[in-house]
Chain A
Amino acid sequence: AQKVTQTQTSISVMEKTTVTMDCVYETQDSSYFLFWYKQTASGEIVFLIRQDSYKKENATVGHYSLNFQKPKSSIGLIITATQIEDSAVYFCAMRANNTGNYKYVFGAGTRLKVIA
């Protein structure tokens, strides 16, 4: 069975600094996809960034990047130059890359507070 664990419940950082949010996953599949989503205070959930398990390069989108450590089953989200509007709950998720598997498994989320 697949499982995604986010151990950090809440993090506070100063504006313009860099923050890393941890995510560890469990899967029996050799190929899979990893995602990070952001849920704002209004409840809106937005896709941020994705990592394909077969790619060695860490994905980067804007001021979001990933630290993919496959041997450790770890996919950390790094936000550089944080802004107040980055304050939100961040969810890590995974999906197996095999026939007939359409399920996404989500972690419990990490609440980020960016302080001015």
Chain B
Amino acid sequence: GGIITQTPKFLIGQEGQKLTLKCQQNFNHDTMYWYRQDSGKGLRLIYYSITENDLQKGDLSEGYDASREKKSSFSLTVTSAQKNEMAVFLCASSMDWGYEQYFGPGTRLTVL
């Protein structure tokens, strides 16, 4: 088995601040994902990466940057935090070809 860890668990920032969320997986999965989940809602894809140094935009990429410098890690940066993007950010990984995703515990973002 493996595990996905996300740091920090809680992130508090000021409006307009640049904030970075980190994700690590030891499944040795090629593909990693960042999702945003607003309270009581479903998952929306922000960025994904199919291999080291690859980045692909999802449906919600505006206002975010991502980085995949190693196969095991995937970072997400909120470029200018806004109060309307307070949410839980979930990292996931999967093998190729239709396999299920495994999710991390999430980072809860609060913007003051």
Contact = CB atoms under 8 A, between A and B. Distances in A.
Contact of B102 (A32, A47, A52): A47
Determine the main DSSP class of A at the interface with B.
strand
Interface string A3-32: 000000000000000000000000000001
Contacts, number: 44
B67 interface: no
Interface in B15-46: 31, 33, 41-43, 45
B98 interface: yes
A46 B106 CA distance: 13
A102 B56 contact: yes
Contacts of A107: 42
Residue among B31, B43, B102 facing the most chain A CB atoms (10 A cut-off): B43
9 contacts: A35-B101, A37-B101, A43-B88, A43-B105, A44-B103, A45-B103, A97-B97, A102-B31, A107-B42
